[in-house]
């Protein structure tokens, strides 16, 4: 009986290894949004550059759009930002910014300093829309088709690899107003 205790460490380790294995399978790109395949929730939030103007889910209709959740406090967003600027300029991708739980002044300065890839930026200062969308953190990007339906969600930084391998094909697929593959 006493010697069975010596198997405790290896037992604990096996258990741990199983969890780590499951953790590995937890692919960042496959985190589901509760709203996948559903239209964007109803909202009315101010525009960053023109606070008197309210933006709503209607502003997403007509063309496939990337809804990019960002904030000035988010370090990874700094990494991501130049790439967004690039695809917006070079490939004409329509990106809408969701400035999440942020300071409006800092956000404006950020866009002036680093370039503005966004068609417009929605101010979600208290994170209400983020909550409805099921945002885990920033950066996070939603792909919406031309009818404003959420088709894909990417958690984490968009870089060359993510764009070419994952998002760009999806974006092309949902781009046309007829919108079916």
Partner 1 sequence: MMWPELGHMAMILATLLALLLVLVPLFPTLFPARIARVLALSHAGCVLLAFAVLLKSFYDNDFSVLLVANNSHSLLPWYYRLTATWGNHEGSMLLWALVLSLWMALVAIGVRSQTEQFVSRVLGIMGSIAIGFGLFILLTSSPFERVLPDVPVNGADLNPLLQDFAMIVHPPTLYMGYVGLCVAFAFALAALWEGRLDASWAKHVRPWVLAAWSFLTIGIALGSWWAYYELGWGGWWFWDPVENASLIPWLVATALLHSLAVTERRDAFRGWTLLLAILAFALSLLGTFLVRSGVLTSVHAFAADPSRGLFILVFLGIVIGGALLVYALRAAALVKPVRFAALSRETLLLVNNVLLLVAAATVLLGTLFPLLMDALGQGRYSVGPPYFNLAVGPVLLFVVALLAIAPVVRWQSTASGVFIRSLRLPLVALLLLVPVLAYVLPAHDRLAAIAGVLLSAWVWVIVVQALWQRWRSSARMHPRFLSMLVAHTGVAVTLFGVVMVGLYGEARDIRLAPKETYALGAYSFYLESIGSRTGPNYQAVVGKVLLIEGNDVRAELYPEKRHYRSGGKPMTEAAILPGLMRDVYVVLGEPLDGEAWSLRVQVKPAIRWIWIGAAIMALGGMLGIWAKRRTDSGRAP
Neighbour tally for 157: CB within 10 Å: 20
Q: How many residues bind partner 1 (CB under 8 A)?
A: 39
Least distance in Å: CB of 78 to partner 1?
5
Residue 65 CA, distance from chain mean position: 12
Which of 106/164 has CB closer to partner 1? 106
- What Cα–Cα distance (Å) separates residue 54 from each residue in 58, 115, 163? 11, 23, 30
Using the contact rule CB under 8 A, the part of the chain among 7-15, 32-40, 56-64, 89-97 near partner 1 is: 7-15
Among 66, 67, 71, 74, binds partner 1 (CB under 8 A): 74
Sheet architecture: strand order including 95-100: 118-124, 95-100, 65-70, 140-144, 150-155
Applying CB under 8 A, does 17 fall inside the site for partner 1?
yes
Applying CB under 8 A, does 20 fall inside the site for partner 1?
yes
Among 6, 52, 178, 180, binds partner 1 (CB under 8 A): 6
Neighbour tally for 77: CB within 10 Å: 22
Q: Are 37 and 149 in contact (CB under 8 A)?
A: yes
Applying CB under 8 A, does 114 fall inside the site for partner 1?
yes
Applying CB under 8 A, does 25 fall inside the site for partner 1?
yes
Binding to partner 1 (CB under 8 A) within 119-178 occurs at: 136-139, 155-157, 159
Residues 6+ apart with CB under 8 A from 94: 63, 64, 65, 66, 88, 119
Least distance in Å: CB of 15 to partner 1?
10
Applying CB under 8 A, does 112 fall inside the site for partner 1?
no
Distance between CA 30 and CA 97 in Å, rounded?
A: 22
Positions that interact with partner 1 (CB under 8 A): 3, 6-7, 9-10, 13-14, 16-17, 19-28, 31, 74-76, 78-79, 81-82, 105-106, 109, 114, 136-139, 155-157, 159
């Amino acid at each position: 009986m006493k010697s069975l205790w010596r198997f405790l460490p290896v037992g604990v380790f096996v258990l741990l290894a199983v969890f780590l294995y499951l953790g590995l399978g937890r692919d960042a790109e496959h985190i589901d949004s509760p709203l996948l395949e559903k239209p964007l929730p109803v909202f009315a939030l101010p525009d960053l550059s023109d606070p008197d103007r309210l933006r709503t889910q209607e502003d997403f209709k007509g063309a496939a759009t990337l809804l990019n959740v960002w904030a000035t406090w988010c370090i990874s967003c700094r990494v991501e930002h130049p790439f967004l600027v690039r695809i917006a300029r070079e490939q004409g991708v329509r990106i809408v910014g969701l400035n999440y739980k942020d300071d409006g002044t800092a956000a404006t300065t950020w866009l002036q300093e680093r370039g503005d890839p966004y068609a417009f930026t929605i101010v979600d200062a208290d994170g209400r829309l983020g909550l409805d969308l099921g945002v885990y953190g920033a950066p996070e990007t939603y792909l919406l088709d031309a009818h404003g339906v959420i088709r894909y969600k990417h958690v984490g930084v968009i870089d060359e690899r993510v764009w070419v391998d994952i998002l760009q094909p999806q974006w092309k697929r949902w781009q046309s107003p007829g919108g079916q593959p």
